[in-house]
């Protein structure tokens, strides 16, 4: 597991060293982070329920306004917990 994991972690970095970093390739590389992160969260948010949706909105708003990861994360978890345990108002 360790070997295979490291191979993937180093592999992308290595492969891009073999490629000429043209403008198009650079644009592609620049677009990867956002796309990967959206891909990580989108299914979890969409297949979640009202607790996740509400928490997602709160996290995005807080992260945008405060810039604090810890604050946004804590409030997000608290909202999920509260809505899951509170009266079924939603």
Q: How far is the CB of 6 from other proteins (least distance, A)?
A: 6
Q: Does 24 bind other proteins (CB under 8 A)?
A: yes
Contact call for residue 89 and other proteins (CB under 8 A): no
Q: Which residues fall within 8 angstroms of residue 79, CB to CB, at 6 or more apart? A: 51, 54, 55, 58
Q: Closest distance between other proteins and the C-beta of residue 90, in Å?
A: 15
Q: Are 76 and 58 in contact (CB under 8 A)?
A: yes
Query: Per CB under 8 A, does 86 bind other proteins?
Result: no
Q: For residue 1, how far is the Cα from the chain centroid?
A: 24
The yes or no reply on residue 20 touching other proteins (CB under 8 A) is no
Give the burial class of 80: count Cβ atoms within 10 A of its Cβ; 0-12 exposed, 13-18 middle, 19 or more buried: buried
Interface positions with other proteins (CB under 8 A): 1-2, 4-6, 8-17, 21, 24, 26-48, 51-52, 55-56, 59-60, 62-64, 67-70, 72-73, 76-81, 84
């Amino acid at each position: 597991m360790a070997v295979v994991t490291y191979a993937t972690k180093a592999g992308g970095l290595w492969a891009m060293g073999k490629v000429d970093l043209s403008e198009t390739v650079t644009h592609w590389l620049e677009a990867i982070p956002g796309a990967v992160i959206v891909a990580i969260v989108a299914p979890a948010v969409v297949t979640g329920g009202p607790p996740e949706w509400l928490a997602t909105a709160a996290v995005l708003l807080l992260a945008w306004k405060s810039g604090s990861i810890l604050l946004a994360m804590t409030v997000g978890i608290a909202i999920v917990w509260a809505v899951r345990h509170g009266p079924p108002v939603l």
